[in-house]
Structure 1
Amino acid sequence: MSRNRNRGFALLSCIVLLSGCEWSNQPTLAERTPQHGHQVESAAVSTATEMAKDSGPMIKRIDIINSKGIKTGTAVLSSIPEGVKMQVEVTGIAPGKHGIHIHQYGVCTGPDFKTAGEHLNPEGKKHGFNNPQGPHAGDLLNLEVGADGKGRAELVNKMVTLDKDKANSLLKQGGTSLVIHEAEDDYMTDPSGNSGARIACGVIL
């Protein structure tokens, strides 16, 4: 009887030892955690990357047409911390300096483009950078066109924004427009710097 008990105890001990050996082959919690944590970290990095893409600068690309309704250029508008950067390229325009302004309505109906309204001017100021009562929010530096009829300029306007909920937004309800004039802006004379007729226009919506 005593022998049988001893054999039973020995057999039970062996089973326990074998079970312990099998368990020791399984990864511990500490061993499993780094791998799981790495997966979570990768997912977080991926999410952050997507958020960074979504929060990039707003960019608007517009076509500029002449008085006959023919495309004569383009403008790329992008939001920057200072305001709005405008990269303008035109062709087929008379050589020289031309006034270029942001107007209050997003409608470009030729040939005179009067549908664009006056300069964007939510603060009710006078025209011109050299005007003590100015400038308009829509005032810009002149665009210079070469002898080949081509012009290119990078203009920064610190008085406007592409945020839709602002009074000086280029994307306000109904939009705005970018208008090129036949002559040079003198940066002083109200309401448009003696820059003459409107010869090209692009809708900003």
Structure 2
Amino acid sequence: MIALVLCASTATAQDAATAKAELKDAKGAVVGQATLTDSPNGVLVHVVLTGMPAGPHAFHIHETGTCEAPFTSAGGHFNPASKQHGMANPMGMHAGDLPNVQVPTDGALTFDAMARDVTLGAGANSLFKSGGTAIVMHAVGDDYKTNPAGAAGARIACGVIAK
């Protein structure tokens, strides 16, 4: 019986939909990798970064799968439910809103975040929608309330989310 449970959980983990995004800075240098994995609670976003400026930075999933510097080509935050921005906004939050990260002085960071209102499957909240989506790192931290983008500053890294 125990072997069956272990085999079943292994098969489920292997069957989970995954996606990746290679994050590049405005000069085109690779600065990180994001791996996204579908789960019953949303999409787990695992990011590994190097060479980034120290301090707080916002991360968001954006509505367009294009990353041309200065990354405004990625559009606004992924927001299929047309909510306002921010985890602290009673009218929010966007499906693409992720928590701020704190990059240490060595510029390297690995973190996980759960994007609860998105999926790698089909549907309105799919990150594989027509036109694609991207993950974007901003110059400063998100204030979690200012609409439409949290006063997070310039976009300093971007990666197109792909299967």
User: Do they fold alike, i.e. is TM over 0.5?
Assistant: yes
- Alignment partner for residue 180 of structure 1, among 133, 137, 149? 137
Please identify which structure carries the higher helix content: 1
The equivalent residue for 1:171 is 128
The equivalent residue for 1:101 is 60
The equivalent residue for 1:89 is 48
Report the CA distance shift for 1:147/1:159 in structure 2 as closer, same or farther (over 3 A). same
Q: Contact 1:122 / 1:137 at 8 angstroms: preserved in 2?
A: yes
Task: State which structure, 1 or 2, has the greater radius of gyration over its C-alpha atoms.
Answer: 1
Report the CA distance shift for 1:79/1:185 in structure 2 as closer, same or farther (over 3 A). same
Which has the higher mean CA deviation after the structures are superposed, 182-191 or 53-62?
A: 53-62
Residue identity in the other structure for 2:92: G
**1:151 is the counterpart of 2:102:** no
**1:204 is the counterpart of 2:161:** yes
The equivalent residue for 1:38 is none
1:55 and 1:180 map into 2 onto residues whose CA distance is 29
2:30 and 2:91 map into 1 onto residues whose CA distance is 35
1:61 Cα deviation from its structure 2 partner: 2.1
Q: Contact 1:83 / 1:161 at 8 angstroms: preserved in 2?
A: yes
**1:66 is the counterpart of 2:25:** yes
CA-atom RMSD in angstroms: 1.8
The equivalent residue for 1:21 is none
1:104 Cα deviation from its structure 2 partner: 0.2
- Which consecutive residues of structure 1, in runs of 5 or more, have no partner in the other structure? 1-47
2:118 and 2:85 map into 1 onto residues whose CA distance is 15
SS for the counterpart of 1:115 is helix
Q: Contact 2:21 / 2:135 at 8 angstroms: preserved in 1?
A: no
Please identify which structure carries the higher strand content: 2
The equivalent residue for 1:161 is 119
Task: Give structure 1 regions of 4+ aligned residues with deviation exceeding 3 angstroms.
Answer: 52-55
Q: Contact 2:74 / 2:134 at 8 angstroms: preserved in 1?
A: yes
1:88 and 1:58 map into 2 onto residues whose CA distance is 17
1:54 Cα deviation from its structure 2 partner: 10
Report the CA distance shift for 1:95/1:79 in structure 2 as closer, same or farther (over 3 A). same
The equivalent residue for 1:37 is none
Q: Contact 2:142 / 2:152 at 8 angstroms: preserved in 1?
A: yes
1:74 and 1:55 map into 2 onto residues whose CA distance is 20
Structure ranking higher on relative contact order (CA contacts 8 Å, 6+ apart)? 2
Identity over aligned residues, as a percent? 44
1:144 and 1:155 map into 2 onto residues whose CA distance is 13
- Alignment partner for residue 114 of structure 1, among 72, 80, 97? 72
2:101 and 2:54 map into 1 onto residues whose CA distance is 10
Q: Contact 1:75 / 1:86 at 8 angstroms: preserved in 2?
A: yes
Q: Contact 2:34 / 2:48 at 8 angstroms: preserved in 1?
A: yes
